[in-house]
Structure 1
Amino acid sequence: MKTELFAKEIQAPSAVGSYSPTDVQFLLKDLSDITLERGTEDREEAIQSGVHYSEMLPVEYQPTDDYIQLFHDTLEESAEKVATAAGVVAELILRKRGKHTVLASLARAGTPIGILIKRYIQEVHHIDMPHYSISIIRGKGIDENAIRYMLYKHPDHEIQFVDGWTGKGAIRKVLVDACAHMKDKYGVSLNDDLAVLADPGYCSETFGTREDFLIPSACLNSTVSGLMSRTVLRDDLIGPNDFHGAKFYKEWLSKDLSNLFIDKVSSYFNRIEATAKETASFFELHPEQTEATWKGIQDIKRIQQDYGIDDVNLVKPGVGETTRVLLRRVPWKILVDRLDNPNLRHILLLAEDRDVSVEVYPNLTYSCCGIIKPLRKGEVEA
């Protein structure tokens, strides 16, 4: 292995985020004092004109009281389902990787899921796995300094990458390329398996469920992700020895729901332990059930053809990605499998709030799909 992998000049991580440091350490440079936000319309035009999405931040959506209540209602209804899926993923990680594993959550949607996995393994198996949150960016790759830092700190461990859910599988593809690049550049072999809570796109081999349901942490932005922004990568802000950057929105501590979400879901671990172990054992015995077939991409191609959309990046499938479209992009329309799908209540509420049309699109693999309004040709966000 090349010695530069373990270079010690990497800047020490900042103490950011509202989670306990025993749950996760963010390997992110603190950019809290820098104004990076741009309005939704302005940002959308910039992205579709070729400005990379990681060079700026969206203005964080401040949810209405009705929407906050929906988050609480959804959490109450789905906490056990989320706990079960997290338990299944945790069991699979242990069986595939062993106890000498570092959890590397992809900021920011992966962070709360990584914490749930860490807590489950700690509570059920009494193993304290190191857990970090790191940046990965479509079109720019993974944060190599974060990878080097983790390998330096835990040389005898394997890294397991974790995310919240899959849409088209774009981040999985970035991860595959990033791991190949790390092998070429540093001679280090990383496993590009991406563990996710939900895999409706059939893009992962390590998942808790393939149901496209509402994970409550997808309802909100920073206030359920440790008060952290999206990650930022800009040459004038991030030096060669820095981690990728992010903002810590300390001013919203009074509205933070990050730890409430974690604590609520974690409270079900004792109840779902047997089911999680049984499901993981089934997947071990029937590996064909976990094959990554990339089934969802066929839906995307059909939607592109039916709606005349040239740029595949304007189509965002799945509950999680559709939520993101409604929260921080300029949506054109929302496609749903059926209007009475219980997983879509927050989608319909957001669409009404933003005056976005909703259309039933039969035989959809996902529960829903968000379509971004095309403004002009150019690069769009993952």
Structure 2
Amino acid sequence: MPTIRRRLTLWYTVALGVTVLAFGTLLYLERRQSSVRELDQRLGLEADLANRWLSESYNVLGRIVTTAGSRPALDPGISAYLEAVRDYLVVADTTGHVLALSEVARTLSADALQRLSAPLDTVRLPKRAGTMHLGPGVGSVRYLAVRVEGAGPEIGGVLVATSTAQVAFGPAELVRSMLIIAPIILLAAALVGYWLAGTSLRPVQGIMDEVEAISDGTSLHRRLAVPLSNDEMARLALTVNGMLARLEQSFAGLHRFTADASHELKTPLMVLRAGVERALVHPGVPGEILQSLDDTLAQINEMTELVESLLTLARADEGRAPLAVEEADLRDLLGEVVETAEMLGEGSDIAVTSAMPDHPVRLSVDRHRIREMLLNLVTNAIKYTPQGGSVDLTLAEQDDAISLTVRDTGVGIAPG
């Protein structure tokens, strides 16, 4: 059964998970942009340094490209300085032919080097930056191609590039760290949320326990303890206390009405009974009237019993029902009830049977109340059992308990 505590914990964990996911996504995007900016700043410094070196060398020497070999190349004295650059560096002429490489760039394969120097073929803007993939051996690199204008007509541009894995704590590492840490955070948050929900709902549990104890109908005078927090729990306790006060007044009024009505009806019934009994023994009453008086007396007796029952019920509800408890043999009590049941069942051809132990079954009870209870059960059983049916009464001892059972072949009691 899902409880409010579990639902609160679930929604708290879901909300925290969504928050962590959104925060992680924003952090990932920001970190990726920050990594790109860091690489671009680094590449910009290296490209500016190479540009200035080439421009100053040209201003001093007047010519920095040699054609001693089969292909044009940067002067060895100038290219030696550029070879020491720790990242990929490519110097190309205006047609895109490579004039010089850094030591790291010389380790690239021909295909990777061709892809790396491709942006120098179309350097029309002062700067051009981007990301490219140089193959499985190198991976992705961030590059910056710069047009060189102060190093003579033969120098076209400089390209510097570095691997994106050079970032100290890049986006990929951030994602891996979040995948490891996020479950731990969510688990810890769920445990803390479960504890917080239980702490917050503890007053509700106390109110539920107290209301269950009051709901027996005899403890309506009790009230809930109102928390001093002056919050929703305090308002709930005050509301329940107000409802209990109204219920107590209603039940008290009902009990008083039942007791007063029963008490007030006893006197007229006693007067009627006395008058009918006096008429029955009067010698001057005609014989045809005696039967009507006899029926009237029976009805008065039934009404008297009903009034007594109502008065007893009212006293029981108020906890004032006296019990005449004495030790009795339940077999004798059951025998009396069986005799009455046999007489009630004769007219409908209902068989009444009984089963009881051979030895005495003694118990301290109120004989009158137990007999009244059994007669009520037997009367209902005979009333709702069809003609030719049966009613069975059983007295049995079961371990440390004694059971009295009334069983019939009638329609039974509807569930609920």
- Structure with more of its chain in helix, by fraction: 2
Q: Where on the TM-score scale, by shorter chain, does this alignment land: which range?
A: under 0.3
Q: Higher relative CO (CA 8 A, sep ≥ 6), structure 1 or 2?
A: 1
Q: TM-score, normalised by structure 1?
A: 0.17
Q: TM-score, normalised by structure 2?
A: 0.16
